[in-house]
Amino acid sequence: MLLKYLTLGPLSILYGIGVNIRNRLFNLHILESHEFDIPIICIGNITVGGTGKTPHTEALIEELRHNYRVACLSRGYKRKTKGFVLATPSSTANDIGDEPMQIKNKFPDITVAVDANRVRAIKKLMLLPERPDVIILDDGFQHRHVKADINILLIDFNHPIHEDHLLPLGRLRESCHAVNRANYVIITKCPSNISPIEKRIISKQLNLKAYQQLLFTTLKYGAIRKLDGDLAQCNLTSNSSILCITGIAHPEPYWEHLKSIVNQVTPLRFPDHYNFQEQDIERILQEYHKISNPEKYIFTTEKDATRLRGCNLPDEIKEHLFYIPVEPEFLSSREQLTKTIHDYVRKNQKK
């Protein structure tokens, strides 16, 4: 641990200086933040790794899509294309990235676009024949070239930011002071039985301003689905065995959920946003064959399923491959958040 501090500590300090200078240039209006004549809601975090951003983005889309034309704009991390790409029914994870692809699969009626240059992308979205009423900026908290109207910041309950360090020593993209830019702070992945005392401790640690609201969510697991997204007839029992394939930042909660259903879970872990290759599929098949229990299944996450659909999977894997989607469940009142968003979009949408 001491060696880690000695080697990465100086790099972390230099990184922090660079981030602080950048933020100060935005605060002094030397670097430009663009405002747009369209409601923009940003969902993001100040840490690398999973804070539950995609499920919360999906929850916001579900909240808005019945009343407004919604566009979701993302960078499209690890896609194999460049520039602005508008998702179509034939798009793949290679075209737009796994998270935007997951969102497009789940909400085919909304507009999904990717571009590292968010300013350019918003201008293009506003020129569409059916112009969106609202744009959800996915993972845009550090993209300060766009001035969002409502900033929602996610913090993982299991990784408190006040105990963390800046990259590369820790997981922080920015210092804890960046929390002040958020209108709403959501503590994600909380235990479902989090106590009022724990909530007060977190609130005190964050030291939020009067204009900020703090909310708490936990992950709620849905029904088991097949690789194509259809509901599955999968009769898991405690005697079943599962090979669990994950390519996400923090798969441990998913493993624990599966362990609450069956006695034997064999994890097969890949890096976050991993693009599965032919040799990986062979390895999955080998690990599956190693399980002697005839009542065996392969499970993955919804995000990994999005990427695996584009792979040349043998029928033996396809027939036994399932995933369980997750969604946020609010442990504190969400009405003020949803009312604020609805009111703002309704008052500012272009007629």
Residue 50 to residue 48: CA distance in whole angstroms: 7
Q: What is the pLDDT of residue 351?
A: 59
Q: Which two tokens stand for residue 159?
A: 């990784």
Half-sphere exposure of 159 (CA within 13 A, CB side): 19
pLDDT digits (tens, 9 = 90+) for 5-61: 888 999 999 999 999 999 999 999 999 999 999 999 999 999 998 899 999 999 999
With 0-12 / 13-18 / 19 or more C-beta atoms within 10 angstroms meaning exposed / middle / buried, residue 172 is buried
**pLDDT below 50 — which residues of the chain?**
none
At a CB cut-off of 8 Å and minimum separation 6, what does 2 contact?
Answer: none
Token pair 């997951």 is found at: 102
Going by C-alpha positions, the residue among 205, 212, 223 that lies closest to residue 327 is: 223
Q: How far is CA 258 from CA 261, 266, 288, in A?
A: 5, 10, 16
Whether the CB-CB separation of 39 and 344 falls below 8 Å is answered with: yes
Q: Which two tokens stand for residue 308?
A: 């695996």
Write the secondary structure of the chain as one string of H (helix), E (strand) and C (coil).
CHHHHHHHHHHHHHHHHHHHHHHHHHHCCCCCCECCCCCEEEEECCECCCCCHHHHHHHHHHHHCCCCCEEEEECCCCCCCCCCEECCCCCCHHHHCHHHHHHHHHCCCCEEEECCCHHHHHHHHHCCCCCCCEEEEECCCCCCCECCCEEEEEEECCCCHHHCCECCCCCECCCHHHHHHCCEEEEECCCCCCCHHHHHHHHHHHCCCCCCEEEEEEEEECCCEECCCCECCCCCCCCCEEEEEECCCCCHHHHHHHHCCCCEEEEEECCCCCCCCHHHHHHHHHHHHHCCCCCEEEEECHHHHHHHCCCCCCHHHHCCEEECCEEEEECCCCHHHHHHHHHHHHHHCCC
Q: What is the pLDDT of residue 323?
A: 97
Q: What is the pLDDT of residue 49?
A: 81
| pTM reported for the whole predicted model | 0.94
Residue 155 to residue 132: CA distance in whole angstroms: 28
Q: Please, which residues bridge with residue 268 across strands?
A: 245
At a CB cut-off of 8 Å and minimum separation 6, what does 218 contact?
Answer: 188, 189, 190, 191, 192, 194, 328, 329, 331
Q: What is the pLDDT of residue 235?
A: 87
Residue 184 to residue 52: CA distance in whole angstroms: 15
Going by C-alpha positions, the residue among 301, 292, 293 that lies closest to residue 322 is: 301
With 0-12 / 13-18 / 19 or more C-beta atoms within 10 angstroms meaning exposed / middle / buried, residue 300 is buried
